[in-house]
A = this chain, B = another copy of it.
Amino acid sequence: MRVTKDPETRRQEIIETAAELFEKKGIRKTSITEIAKTLCVAKGLVYYYFSSKDELVTAVIEQLAQSLDAALAEIVARDDLDFYSRLKAIFNFYFHAIQSHPRVLTVSPNDPAAFSLLRDRLSHIAFYHVHDVLNNGMKQNLITIKHPQHMLRILINGLGDLYINGVHDPKVHATLIEQTLNLEPGCLT
């Protein structure tokens, strides 16, 4: 039967359902047909909101990216956090985001795509927000390593994988970050 909804609501509904299925089965193995069926909606409706599967994938990824972006921005903006707490908070959020979407992270719409992997997108966002924080740390002589940006990237990506592979202990995390960025031992604990 026919159920009409507010377009924006429906749009979100589609994005969310798609995100869940992408999560569960991977993007490639999730067909528009299945998304529609899950929503109890005609296939055509999905195309009414997204002109192609790629566009839907993009929307899903964008949504995830933006939620991370917003969260991190908020953290960076907080006045009550010092350099270390801020760093810790950011990483926590980032790892959490990565861990939540392993399948989406793995396969992209048309692999050779522009920003193909959400992974890149997320790490880019994390990188962007940590950047300022790091610079601040350098001015306070809290950061003394060479190639800080590369080190950051190693951390972001490397720790991401570690996280996915089951290392969730925040203490271990803190230690690893400290060591990688050559921070005072225990400063993040």
Contacts and interface: CB of A to CB of B under 8 A. Distances in A.
Contacts of A172: 147, 150
A179 B143 CA distance: 12
Interface string A132-159: 0000000000000111001101111111
Central interface residue in A117, A123, A147, by most chain B CB within 10 Å: A147
Interface in A160-174: 160-162, 165, 167, 172
Contacts of A52: none
When all copies of this chain in the complex are counted, the total is: 4
A58 to B, nearest CB: 17
Contact of A179 (B29, B175, B176, B182): B182
A8 interface: no
The dominant DSSP class at the A interface is helix
Interface residues of A, number: 36
**4 nearest A-B residue pairs (beta carbon):** A158-B158, A154-B158, A157-B161, A157-B158
26 contacts: A28-B28, A28-B111, A103-B111, A106-B111, A106-B117, A107-B108, A107-B111, A146-B175, A146-B179, A147-B172, A147-B176, A150-B162, A150-B167, A150-B176, A151-B176, A151-B180, A153-B162, A154-B155, A154-B158, A154-B162, A155-B158, A157-B158, A158-B159, A158-B161, A179-B182, A180-B180
